Structure 1
Amino acid sequence: MIFEMTIQVRVQDIRKGKKWYQTLFNREPDFIPHEGFAEWEIISGCWLQVAEGTPSEASGTLRLGVTDIEGERERLVRDLNIDNFDIYSRDQVPVKWGTFIDPWGNRLGFFEYLNKTEQEERIKTIVGN
């Protein structure tokens, strides 16, 4: 039975990485077990680990669900100087999405459900409200 998930990205400078991801998530890390490492519980049971080390160029995109992708893009452009964050949609795909890159080359992104009723149901299922 799988009940939790973690994904790790690496940054060359943990101090800068921690600050960048704090701005991305609008909050301090939830757990700092040792030097060179910080973790955020993004949603219940889903953790992002930021570790000091050599970033992996071949890693896939970590894409996070948001309720307002345009607003989030504006915030990241303003607060993190993200300059390449296009938003896409495609027929038959129930979300619009965009990808951006952190300063260490890790690919991140957001997606937003087009159907707001479906979005609210997903939030209720995941968050339990």
Structure 2
Amino acid sequence: MTDVPKPFGMTLQVQVDDLERARRFFCLVLGRAPEFDPQGGDVLAWRVGDGETWLEVVGVTGPVRPLVTRVRFGIDDLNAARATVEAAGTPVSAATSLPGLARWADFTDPWGNQLGFYEVLDAG
């Protein structure tokens, strides 16, 4: 038996039924336009971080199947991220923290995908 080669990246897909609305929503959440945005295509993709981790937003014509697990995006300023998403009309939970490690807040996109932000805390 041969081992599978070690992965070097990851993609995560979320489904939506309105790609233009999703473009606006995820541009707000991720703070920029998608890196992959083919004219007339049914997928948008954002690189998350500096490596090969990608969020793919896929337009579907049938029923949307939202994520059943939560995906959180690491950010530098949890308060600013929460305020931006809330100001756009999406409710965001109060921040929860694990002292000395991280703080996070959760929200759900218009298609039922469970998302959130986390901020790494300075242990010092």
User: Which residue in the other structure is 1:114 paired with?
Assistant: 121
Find the counterpart in structure 1 of residue 37 from structure 2: 32
User: d(CA) in 2 for partners of 1:20 and 1:70?
Assistant: 18
SS of equivalent residue, structure 2 residue 22: helix
RMSD over aligned CA atoms reads 1.9
Larger Rg: 2
Tell me which residue corresponds to 2:56: 49
Which residue of the other structure, out of 83, 92, 95, is the alignment partner of 1:74?
83
Amino acid aligned to 1:87 = A
TM superposition shift of 1:56: 2.4
TM-score of the pair, normalised by structure 2: 0.82
Identity of aligned residues (%): 28
Find the aligned partners of 2:89 and 2:123 in 1 and give their Cα distance: 29
Tell me the amino acid that sits aligned with residue 37 of structure 1: V
Which segments of 5 or more consecutive residues in structure 1 lack a partner in the other structure?
118-129
Query: Which of residues 90, 100, 103 in structure 2 aligns to 1:96?
Result: 103
Provide the C-alpha distance between the structure 2 equivalents of 1:41 and 1:57, rounded to a whole number of angstroms: 20
Task: Supply the distance in 2 between the matched residues of 1:42 and 1:116 (Cα, whole angstroms).
Answer: 24
Asked if residue 16 in structure 1 is aligned to residue 24 in structure 2, the reply is no
Matched, 1:105 2:94: no
Alpha carbons 1:55, 1:106 under 8 Å: kept: no
C-alpha separation in 1, matches of 2:65 and 2:18: 14
Matched, 1:86 2:94: yes
Distance in 1 of aligned mates of 2:67 and 2:12: 14
How many residues are paired up?
115
Counterpart AA for 2:115: L
Structure 2: distance between partners of 1:40 and 1:115: 27
| Alpha-carbon separation, structure 2, partners of 1:81 and 1:70 | 16
Q: State the shift of 1:7 in Å.
A: 0.2
